[in-house]
Structure 1
């Protein structure tokens, strides 16, 4: 099965891994690695077609000043090609590769794909600079890695949606990654791994990606955080409404905040 999904074994050889380890660990502003053509192009093309299937039950939409996108809901029944991708990246062989690359032992996949799955950002959509949830809310495991494979063909710099990796303190951009078809990003997760795509996607375009998270039961690198929610980074380019939403997220009880989000989303539509 993996031979039908993975292009070849070049990233799994020990000789290549030695080089990739150094690139990952020494990357700025925090550990990450960009790989090309890990997965079969024909499989990824099939997954792109699946974004038009599934109906409303498959998707959860977010429509705020800080995040405008849709993602597949946790524990969804995914379309066949997308499920095959997630089966492979959750397999023992692939996880051994990730552990060898990053040095993080005892990595665990998340069958529910909480926060992961199929992601789509349509024209005008964005995801402001943030730090991901550090603890999976159901299992309480520590979020250690994100794996992202991009599905966008024929994009240009004017399309928006490039992923920005930021230094958290002081807040400033450190790297920019174009969401090019077939590119896979392996990104370390910690309380300082700030990232996002704050530049809105151009009307008429869609930014699509497959995302999986990997966990450990505890961590010994000093990066422990119990946060089970996205934490947004304050920086000078934020608009007034975005700043207000960040303040409200940090002060209001969750039920009230959820009601305000629903009201805002209804108002926008």
Structure 2
């Protein structure tokens, strides 16, 4: 009889832990592993049955407007299945098991679920490659692992939404590989300064337009990490995708080519608008009150001194 913290896993996962760990540590472009049938099948069905409606989660994007992604971090409110999940993943047995799968010991569970929980994406959504924040927002813990379990019983790889690890999204138009978000498939990857990951645009056929890309995402931390992997604290930052390799000199652009180029330009323009808005808000804040008046006097004195 498995320990309570391990009862949610398919028994075959831990039987092959050494093989998965070897795959994790040797994977390119950064340590990761794909595990099929990660959860006990009956438990995976329970999570799917209790998955929250899109409207129940937070669908407000970074720009403050409602979008096509919904997240919910208070998973214990989703019923017995998610309460069991929460009980399991914080147990010493489960944390030790994930350490066996990855070779990373001393993993810490995040009781606040900051950034994690249920994730759902509608048709048309995509993720440009980010590097995730590297420290817990409120603790001095190093973020070490993302563990994602997909809950899509009906999905074809050609529909997009596939996880894409990148070597260097500043230069590479293509990911190293592509992982479809199939039901009860788990992806575990190490979070570091080189763990660039994305998913390609979801393009559902008209008869499947109501489907969404659903998953449960879990983050794990450690109190320390190797010095050569440690970087100053930073937030999550993104790199917009490069032009597809087919867009090259001499090509006559098709209707689809033009549409894709416009799709690639739109987030860049939105990012520029957001940066200008943030800059304007910062300057307005600086101009207010005593501090703003002192800054005004300092700038005025500096300009006159330069003359």
What is the TM-score with the length of structure 1 in the denominator? 0.81
Tell me the equivalent position of 1:141: 141
Q: Report the Cα distance in structure 2 between the residues aligned to 1:104 and 1:141, rounded to whole angstroms.
A: 14
Q: Report the Cα distance in structure 2 between the residues aligned to 1:248 and 1:222, rounded to whole angstroms.
A: 36
Q: Which stretch has the larger CA shift, 138-147 or 173-182?
A: 138-147
TM superposition shift of 1:79? 2.8
Matches within 5 A, 1:117-136: 117-136=117-136
Which residue of 219, 242, 259 maps to 2:267? Answer: 242
Tell me the equivalent position of 2:253: none
Contact 2:7 2:40 in 1 (8 A): yes
Gap regions ≥5 residues in structure 2: 244-262, 283-307
Q: Does 1:61 align with 2:93?
A: no
Q: Does 1:222 align with 2:223?
A: no
Matches within 5 A, 1:95-106: 95-106=95-106
RMSD: 2.8
Tell me the equivalent position of 2:212: 206
Tell me the equivalent position of 2:198: 196
Q: Provide the secondary structure at the position in 1 that maps to 2:146.
A: strand
How far does the alpha carbon of each residue in 1:166-200 deviate from its partner, in whole angstroms, 9 at most, with x for none?
11263341111010101111111101101111313
Which residue of 7, 10, 14 maps to 2:10? Answer: 7
Tell me the equivalent position of 2:45: 45
More helix by share: 2
How far does the alpha carbon of each residue in 1:217-237 deviate from its partner, in whole angstroms, 9 at most, with x for none?
232152223445321123313
Which residue of 217, 226, 239 maps to 1:233? Answer: 239
Between structure 1 and structure 2, the one with the greater Rg is: 2
Contact 1:147 1:211 in 2 (8 A): yes
Given the superposition, is the C-alpha separation of residues 6 and 99 from structure 1 closer, same or farther in structure 2, using an over 3 Å criterion? closer
TM superposition shift of 1:71? 0.7
Given the superposition, is the C-alpha separation of residues 101 and 223 from structure 1 closer, same or farther in structure 2, using an over 3 Å criterion? same
Q: Report the Cα distance in structure 1 between the residues aligned to 2:234 and 2:26, rounded to whole angstroms.
A: 27
Q: Report the Cα distance in structure 1 between the residues aligned to 2:228 and 2:78, rounded to whole angstroms.
A: 36
Q: Report the Cα distance in structure 2 between the residues aligned to 1:249 and 1:140, rounded to whole angstroms.
A: 29
Q: Report the Cα distance in structure 1 between the residues aligned to 2:237 and 2:35, rounded to whole angstroms.
A: 27
Matches within 5 A, 1:163-182: 163-168=163-168, 170-171=171-172, 172-182=174-184
Contact 2:143 2:222 in 1 (8 A): yes
Q: Report the Cα distance in structure 2 between the residues aligned to 1:85 and 1:140, rounded to whole angstroms.
A: 25
Contact 1:135 1:225 in 2 (8 A): no
Q: Provide the secondary structure at the position in 1 that maps to 2:177.
A: strand
Tell me the equivalent position of 1:107: 107
Contact 1:164 1:197 in 2 (8 A): yes
More strand by share: 1
| Number of residue pairs the alignment of both structures matches | 251
Gap regions ≥5 residues in structure 1: 258-269
TM superposition shift of 1:141? 1.5
